[in-house]
Amino acid sequence: MHVERSFTVTRPIEEVFAYFGDFTHTEAWDPGTVSTTRTGGDGGLGTTYANTSEFMGRRVELTYETITYDRPVRVQFRGKNKSATATDSMTFSPSSPAGSGTSIHYRADFDFGFLGNLVVPLVIRRKLDTVADETVAQMKRALA
């Protein structure tokens, strides 16, 4: 199951990549994140994070790792715990010839295991879409 959104911000691509390439900033742009702490690495490929999020009244702990770090065009983080895997992917491209804006494509993929993948979409699909819209709004505010 996944959600994805595309939008544009009025910041240069290098600045946008630097901001979203640091997963600790999820505290500012992800409405479900309670806290994110870097636990290892230099901020690039292979960096790990401890993330605590809330979703539908439930607190969830995930260990994230930066699995793609292609400055300034793509960053990808994979979070895991015993019952789920989440992958957040962002791609960036200049939205103006002068380089003053950036187009962002954000995609979040969720895997809840075989049984979870059968049941979970029926229960949370609409909520995930709402959270995706809230996430874009917060991403834009964070870069304003």
Per-residue model confidence as pLDDT tens for the chain (144 residues): 899 999 999 999 999 999 999 999 999 999 999 999 999 999 999 999 999 999 878 899 999 999 999 999 999 999 999 989 999 999 999 997 777 899 999 999 998 776 555 666 666 667 778 888 899 999 999 998
pTM of the model: 0.87
CATH topology of domain 2-142: Alpha-D-Glucose-1,6-Bisphosphate; Chain A, domain 4 (3.30.530)
Q: How far apart are CA 84 and CA 27, in angstroms?
A: 20
Cβ 12 vs Cβ 102: under 8 Å:
yes
